[in-house]
Amino acid sequence: MSEEDLVPLSTKINPLDVQVGGDHYKDCAIQPTVYSHYNNLNTCEANIVKYITRHNKKGEGKEDILKVIHYAQLLLELEYPEEDKQQDLFNDLIDRGRHVQIKS
């Protein structure tokens, strides 16, 4: 633990006031991360909020819209799979998990 870690939180910069890599969320009434956190959104839902919020601000408009569509498709597949494909989806997810390698 460093000496900086011991500084009381009240004297440190609030992480909600910092944005790394641009300022495309600075003019939002509610930051996408804060909105997603307080509304208990899962990863797909939170990414949809993030990308739709920034699509016309960051300069990657079309790509961000395509990401929204992709995350919506993922959400649809994971949350509402076709009834006869639920077991296949579950088995596929388990199988994919077995192939993940964590680098140390």
Helix (H, G, I), strand (E, B) or coil at 23: coil
The pTM is what? Answer: 0.66
Locate the domains of the chain by residue range: 4-98
Distances (CA, A) of 20 to 17, 43, 85: 10, 20, 41
Residue 83 has pLDDT above 60, yes or no: yes
Helices within the chain (DSSP H only)? 32-38, 43-54, 61-79, 86-98
Residue 103 has pLDDT above 60, yes or no: no
Q: What is the pLDDT of residue 63?
A: 95
For the chain, percent of residues with pLDDT exceeding 90: 29
Q: What is the pLDDT of residue 57?
A: 80
**75 CB burial (10 A radius; 0-12, 13-18, 19+):** middle
What tokens appear for 12 in the block? 């440190």
- Residue pLDDT, tens place only, 52-81: 988 988 777 899 999 999 999 999 988 887
